[in-house]
Amino acid sequence: MNHVDEIARSSERIASLITEDNFTSQVPSCPEWTLFDLVSHIGEVQNFWSHSILEAIADVPWPGGVSKPDSPGSAGKWLRVQTQSLIDAINSTAVTSPCWTWWGDPQTASAVARHQVQEAELHRWDGELALGKPNSIPLHIATDGIPEFLHVHRFAIQKLDLPHIHLVSSDAKDNWHLNDGAASTIAVNGNASDLLLFLSGRLPIDKLRVTGDSKGLNTLIDALPEINT
């Protein structure tokens, strides 16, 4: 996967969504946000990570200030500037260059670029949801996003008393496991996009097919809002 291309594609879609007529639209998957809040968030995140990559320090986060759009009417243009800054930072930095990450290892520019693909694409989905029916997450992004999610949130997941949860994709050969050593097993079946949307707190479990004792999923379901905060 070309991280830069995917960040650019998803971010441009977000930037193209917002207008002066719809910026107050509520985002159902992020209920405290309007579309303007969503665009502001993704731009602020990209601004932070572009500086973090260029700083090339793994020990502490970049301490600088946060850029914000001047107005709803300029938000799309402002986001494009933040996206380009992130792309330029990634392109000008070696993939193994050190970079602080809140999730721990690997603390590299490449790990940040990979995570920013997921950040932009999931918020692209959020933005489209705010204005109607969103397109699904592309297969190659979803099949990378699920293991990336499980790694980034591994410490929070390890604290949960979970059965063996088997995530079974209907449209890819990939399958994923949580708490592989547990005695009881629950299978959660769906396409890769829906599985990722479930893990990221955007799709309820009743949109997927569960086999096994579904009550065993409750611990994970209850923890997802905090995990995704």
CATH of the domain at 99: 1.20.120.450
pLDDT class for 131, splitting at 50, 70, 90? very high
Say what the pTM is: 0.96
Structure confidence at residue 181 (pLDDT)? 81
The pair of structure tokens assigned to 226 is 């905090």
- Alpha-carbon gap, residue 7 to 203, rounded angstroms: 22
pLDDT class for 67, splitting at 50, 70, 90? confident
Of 28-32, 74-78, 152-156, 214-218, which range is least confident?
Answer: 214-218
- Whether residue 126 is found in the same domain as residue 143: no
**Contacts of residue 50, Cβ cutoff 8 Å, sequence gap at least 6:** 82, 85, 86, 88, 89
Structure confidence at residue 24 (pLDDT)? 97
Structure confidence at residue 66 (pLDDT)? 79
Structure confidence at residue 216 (pLDDT)? 84
- Whether residue 104 is found in the same domain as residue 200: no
- Whether residue 84 is found in the same domain as residue 149: no
Nearest CA among 184, 182, 178, 125 for reference residue 150? 178
> Domain end: 102, 131, 160, which one?
131
- Whether residue 68 is found in the same domain as residue 93: yes
- Whether residue 89 is found in the same domain as residue 127: yes
Structure confidence at residue 229 (pLDDT)? 86
- Alpha-carbon gap, residue 75 to 168, rounded angstroms: 39
- Whether residue 143 is found in the same domain as residue 222: yes
Average pLDDT over residues 94-123: 98
pLDDT class for 8, splitting at 50, 70, 90? very high
- Whether residue 116 is found in the same domain as residue 143: no
- Whether residue 67 is found in the same domain as residue 106: yes
Judged against a pLDDT cut of 90, whether residue 221 lies above it is answered with yes
Count structural domains, the chain.
2
Nearest CA among 36, 25, 123, 26 for reference residue 71? 36
Range of the structural domain that residue 199 is part of:
139-227
Judged against a pLDDT cut of 90, whether residue 213 lies above it is answered with no
Taking each helix axis from N to C end, the angle separating 3-17 and 35-55, rounded to the nearest 10 degrees, works out to 150
Average pLDDT over residues 31-55: 97
> Domain end: 131, 161, 192, which one?
131
- Whether residue 154 is found in the same domain as residue 127: no
- Whether residue 121 is found in the same domain as residue 165: no
Average pLDDT over residues 45-69: 94
For the chain, the average pLDDT equals: 96
- Whether residue 100 is found in the same domain as residue 143: no
Structure confidence at residue 214 (pLDDT)? 80
Kindly tell me the burial class for residue 9, based on how many C-beta atoms sit within 10 Å of its own C-beta (0-12, 13-18, 19 or more): middle
> Domain end: 131, 157, 179, which one?
131
pLDDT class for 184, splitting at 50, 70, 90? confident
Structure confidence at residue 183 (pLDDT)? 79
